């Protein structure tokens, strides 16, 4: 305890860490309890599209959004299936007596459903790359090939 009394910096760091943990816990709790908050797997393709669109010139970003909107009807049911598979995997993991085979099957099913979403997202990007300007493609890959 002598070290604890002599180290005011350590006490301050522990206090700051504790405060940050309380803030983070409160934020996550509010998001989790809010209707529709923190749904596993929710919005992943959309966030990826948003990040890519931010890196493109305006006209090329509009092309990406147009393609994405055309594939949204295909993505939504896949996302719903993926969320259900994730919940099933979480339920399997939460069992008192873990059934390893059931857990592995549920995780594999969730992975397979996520791969289907990924395939649609990849097709979106390939179609976008075919249709956007050379400037947009260069801007998207950055300085990798200069």
Q: What is the distance between the alpha carbons of residues 112 and 99, in angstroms, rounded to a whole number?
A: 20
pLDDT of residue 127: 94
* Domain shared by 9 and 48, yes or no: no
* Domain shared by 58 and 82, yes or no: yes
pLDDT of residue 38: 45
Of the candidates 79, 87, 89, the one whose C-alpha atom is nearest the C-alpha of residue 121 is: 79
Residue 93 sits in a domain whose CATH number is: 1.20.120
* Domain shared by 33 and 47, yes or no: no
* Domain shared by 119 and 50, yes or no: yes
**Could you tell me the pTM of the whole model?**
0.65
Task: Name the residue range of residue 29's domain.
Answer: 1-38
Residue 146 in domain: no
pLDDT of residue 63: 94
Q: Count Cβ neighbours within 10 Å for each residue of 89-120 and write b for 16 or more, e otherwise.
A: beebeeeeeeeeeebeebbebbeebbebbeeb
* Domain shared by 19 and 70, yes or no: no
Residue 76 in domain: yes
* Domain shared by 82 and 97, yes or no: yes
Give the pLDDT of the chain (146 residues) as one tens digit per residue. 555 555 677 676 777 777 676 676 666 655 555 555 444 555 578 888 898 899 899 999 999 999 999 999 999 999 999 999 999 999 998 888 988 899 899 999 999 999 999 999 999 999 999 999 999 988 888 756 55
When divided into structural domains, the chain yields a total of: 2
Of the candidates 79, 74, 106, the one whose C-alpha atom is nearest the C-alpha of residue 90 is: 106
């Amino acid at each position: 305890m002598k070290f604890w009394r002599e180290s005011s910096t350590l006490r301050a760091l522990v206090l700051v860490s504790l405060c940050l943990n309380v803030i983070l816990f409160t934020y996550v709790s509010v998001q989790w309890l809010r209707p529709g908050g923190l749904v596993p797997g929710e919005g992943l393709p959309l966030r990826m599209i948003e990040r890519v669109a931010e890196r493109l010139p305006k006209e090329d970003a509009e092309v990406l959004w147009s393609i994405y909107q055309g594939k949204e009807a295909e993505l939504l049911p896949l996302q719903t299936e993926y969320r259900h598979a994730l919940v099933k995997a979480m339920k399997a993991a939460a069992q008192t007596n873990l059934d390893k085979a059931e857990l592995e099957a549920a995780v594999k099913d969730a992975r397979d459903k996520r791969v289907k979403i990924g395939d649609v997202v990849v097709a979106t990007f390939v179609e976008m790359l075919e249709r956007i300007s050379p400037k947009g493609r260069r801007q998207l890959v950055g300085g990798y090939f200069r």
